[in-house]
Amino acid sequence: MKTKQEVGLDTSQPRISYQRALRARFMWQGETHAVSGCSLDILRDFLQHHGSIALADHPHHLADALSCLGGYGELGRWQAIDTLLLYKVVLPLS
């Protein structure tokens, strides 16, 4: 996984706070899920769906963001969301 500095993005501030990201909810396949409580498969599918649309020309950015989900627990969930937001992916989180 590349750092945000390596891809030339402004990383002075996260796009979403750790607490806000983990408290966020989203709709997926007709059901409401919490970022912190849903399975990684559901979260990955949700992020991949929205990321693949916005990053169709840059699939490596999507792969970098989704790689954060592997083995990092809640920190990885936040990092994946923050990375996609940094790449200007619109995620319908509430």
Whether 4 maps to a domain, the answer reads no
Q: Is residue 26 part of a domain?
A: yes
Task: Tell whether 62 is covered by a domain.
Answer: yes
Question: What pLDDT sits at residue 4?
Answer: 52
Q: Is residue 7 part of a domain?
A: no
Range of the structural domain that residue 30 is part of: 18-86
Which tokens in the block code for residue 60?
A: 């490596």
Could you read off the pLDDT of 51-70 as tens digits, one per residue?
999 999 999 999 999 999 98
Q: Count the domains in the chain.
A: 1
Confidence of residue 25 (pLDDT cuts 50, 70, 90): very high
Rounded Cα distance, 65 and 67, in Å: 5
Report if residue 11 sits inside a domain: no
| 2 lies in some domain | no
CB 30 within 8 A of CB 20: no
Q: Classify the C-alpha dihedral 63-65-68-73 as positive or negative.
A: negative
User: What is the percentage of the chain residues whose pLDDT exceeds 90?
Assistant: 83
